[in-house]
Structure 1
Amino acid sequence: MATIDRQATTLALAHALSAAERGLAVIPLSRTKLPALRSPHRDDPTAPPCRGDCGRFGHGVYDASTDPRRIRELFAAAPWATGYGIACGLEPHHLIGIDLDTKSGTDSSAALRELALRHLFTIPETVVVLTPSGGRHLWLSGPPDVVVPNSASRLAPGIDVRGAGGYLVGPGSRTEHGVYGTAPGTARLAPAPCPASLLRLLLPPPRSHHTATGTSTSGQGQGLVQFVLAAHEGQRNTRLFWAACRAYENGLGPQLTEALVDAAVRTGLTEREARSTITSASRMTLPHP
């Protein structure tokens, strides 16, 4: 077993160094997919929060590096490591991970396709990592000035997001459940830019600024209603869903509901269909408890 572990550690280090050559900052992981090095402050409950300022290892993604010498030092300090994690949100890729899980009993791939249809985006050709459980990690690149938070099933059941402060298990890592690997044909791809419509979904809804009704709010609401009214057959539900999402994101959902329902009915949807679509938009957009 010790020989196997040493081999796994050697392979993990080799894969980690290869990832670092591509600009991806890495840390060693244990077989449980957790950072292999424990916090040096774990026995001191009074210690202030530390992100590696103390100079010691054991700070999770804050230890992540692209420096080969430092990476070797990290793995030397954790000879039991059998995998590596790739820190998200860092230069130059500003990596965003879309984790399509299979353990939740839901079809997360179908949920992502539905989101893509509703919000008019397509997932570009990019790096895809296959997990031992049958799931997939999609690697996307975000803008340098946007911080994407981590989330679990906020987009849809079974879809987790890894953003700033999070990490993805790197391909070639060995865990308790098996080995992570890249999907055929994607290993040498760069993380593709995240579609703008998807990026908006990944960000927390903006805080609503409730003010007295004025020309700007009225104009914005009227624009969303007109957007629904302009729908042709085959795009009525999609346009209504998009407009309802924008309304709720901007704190106008309750005020615009009846106007949006009326507009949708005038384009050919039934009132029941329209209200169901708007309810789905509110659930998708409003923050979960």
Structure 2
Amino acid sequence: MVSPDVFYGALTRASGRWPLSAAARELVRSGVPVFPCVPGGKRPLTEHGFHDAATDPDQVEAWWGQHPGANIGVPTGAPSGFVAVDVDVHGPVDGFRGFSRASRAGLAEGWQFLVTTPSGGMHAYYPATPGQEQRSWQAARAGIDFRGDGGYILVPPSEVSTTGAVAGYRLQRFNAGASSVLDSDRLRDFLDPRPAPRPPENPGLQRQADMSRLAVWVAARGEGERNRGLFWAACRLAENGVPASDALDGLSAAASDAGLGEREITATVHSAYRAAHPTREDSASPTVRDSSPAAPDDWFARDPVSRPSSVRGLG
């Protein structure tokens, strides 16, 4: 794990007029794992993307020797020791509004330093929470993404092409005060509140009402959120004794409206039921007993996520 001062110092030195290859070497000398991305873009050049990030000088020399103009990617979360809040500005979506609201609520304070992005947005860097996995997520409607475990970010002096022009990532400000870890789960719930169940009047009617609210929420998921949103909603139904066939019927139309295909919807719902009940034997149409439904307050208690698969070698 790289300390904030060391990381910021390396970025400061590399953010001048250094070639990208020299900047990558400087970051590696400071202990920051890096990997190459396409020149002028964000797509990784290695076979396994951010999983291939290295601090081996020889490997970095080989990568940038082959692609001297490659942008510099750094994995977020445990591999690097920092996480980032990505504030986007796209058309009517202005992530700075959500970031300001979160800051006033005390949920986005304690950043280490800020970086301006080519689109006019901002990256706010925070120390990763030691010993705790912080999964990446998106809150598209708020214009904010969280880059944690399972994610990566481009760092200065990388440059990308936007709207026909080339612009770069630039250091903006360092926090001379004390930095603090970010509660990414609370921030996500603040920016993208999830539907809350009402007090039950009739268990059967309440179940239908909750399923309807979940369906509305799934239908509103944007690109990058829809598959995970469907998985989360299906897990809630599984945990509350709703048969998989009913969950599939109740969520399919909403997931289709969000942009998912029929095959992907079916696979995601079945995967959610297997994840919610791992002791049950997998089948093509898993079902859940209906005898002991959970209390309504438990519907939104957990957020199961899948872990990244293991990686091998380089591409």
**TM-score (structure 1 length as normaliser):** 0.54
The answer on whether the counterparts of 1:140 and 1:191 sit within 8 Å (CA) in structure 2 is no
The percent of aligned pairs where both chains have the same amino acid is: 24
Query: Structure 1: 5+ residue runs without aligned partners?
Result: 1-8, 38-57, 206-240, 257-282
Query: What is the Cα deviation at residue 10 of structure 1?
Result: 7.0
Q: Secondary structure at the match of 1:178?
A: strand
Q: Secondary structure at the match of 1:183?
A: strand
The answer on whether the counterparts of 2:138 and 2:146 sit within 8 Å (CA) in structure 1 is yes
Query: What is the Cα deviation at residue 73 of structure 1?
Result: 1.6
The whole-number CA distance in structure 1 between the counterparts of 2:102 and 2:113 is 20
User: 2:153 — aligned with what?
Assistant: 168
Change beyond 3 A, Cα 1:161–1:16:
same
Query: Which of 29, 38, 54 is the equivalent residue of 1:65?
Result: 54
The whole-number CA distance in structure 2 between the counterparts of 1:87 and 1:180 is 16
The whole-number CA distance in structure 2 between the counterparts of 1:200 and 1:150 is 13
Query: Which of 51, 56, 74 is the equivalent residue of 1:86?
Result: 74
Change beyond 3 A, Cα 1:195–1:32:
closer
Q: Which amino acid aligns with 2:113?
A: V
Q: Secondary structure at the match of 1:148?
A: coil
The whole-number CA distance in structure 1 between the counterparts of 2:177 and 2:64 is 25
User: 2:139 — aligned with what?
Assistant: 153
User: 1:36 — aligned with what?
Assistant: 45
Q: Which amino acid aligns with 1:254?
A: R
Query: Structure 2: 5+ residue runs without aligned partners?
Result: 1-16, 201-219, 221-227, 231-315
Q: Which amino acid aligns with 2:37?
A: L
Q: Which amino acid aligns with 1:109?
A: F
Within a 5 Å distance, the mapping from 1:102-181 to structure 2 comes to 102-118=89-105, 120-153=106-139, 157-176=142-161, 177-181=166-170
The answer on whether the counterparts of 2:34 and 2:73 sit within 8 Å (CA) in structure 1 is yes
The answer on whether the counterparts of 1:101 and 1:158 sit within 8 Å (CA) in structure 2 is yes
List per-residue Cα deviations over 1:86-122 (Å, max 9, x = no partner). Answer: 11113451x211100011422211212213334x335
Paired residues in the alignment total 188
The whole-number CA distance in structure 2 between the counterparts of 1:129 and 1:102 is 14
Within a 5 Å distance, the mapping from 1:227-266 to structure 2 comes to 253-255=197-199
Change beyond 3 A, Cα 1:121–1:201:
closer
User: 1:18 — aligned with what?
Assistant: 26
The whole-number CA distance in structure 1 between the counterparts of 2:61 and 2:119 is 29
**TM-score (structure 2 length as normaliser):** 0.50
Q: Which amino acid aligns with 1:255?
A: P
Change beyond 3 A, Cα 1:71–1:77:
same
The whole-number CA distance in structure 2 between the counterparts of 1:104 and 1:76 is 38
User: 1:52 — aligned with what?
Assistant: none
Query: What is the Cα deviation at residue 26 of structure 1?
Result: 0.6
Q: Secondary structure at the match of 2:43?
A: coil
The whole-number CA distance in structure 2 between the counterparts of 1:174 and 1:116 is 28
The whole-number CA distance in structure 1 between the counterparts of 2:172 and 2:116 is 6
The answer on whether the counterparts of 2:135 and 2:149 sit within 8 Å (CA) in structure 1 is yes
The whole-number CA distance in structure 2 between the counterparts of 1:75 and 1:191 is 35
The structure with the larger Rg is 1
Query: What is the Cα deviation at residue 162 of structure 1?
Result: 1.2
User: 2:247 — aligned with what?
Assistant: none
List per-residue Cα deviations over 1:101-156 (Å, max 9, x = no partner). Answer: 011422211212213334x33522412111122110111122232222222226x5
The whole-number CA distance in structure 1 between the counterparts of 2:126 and 2:73 is 16
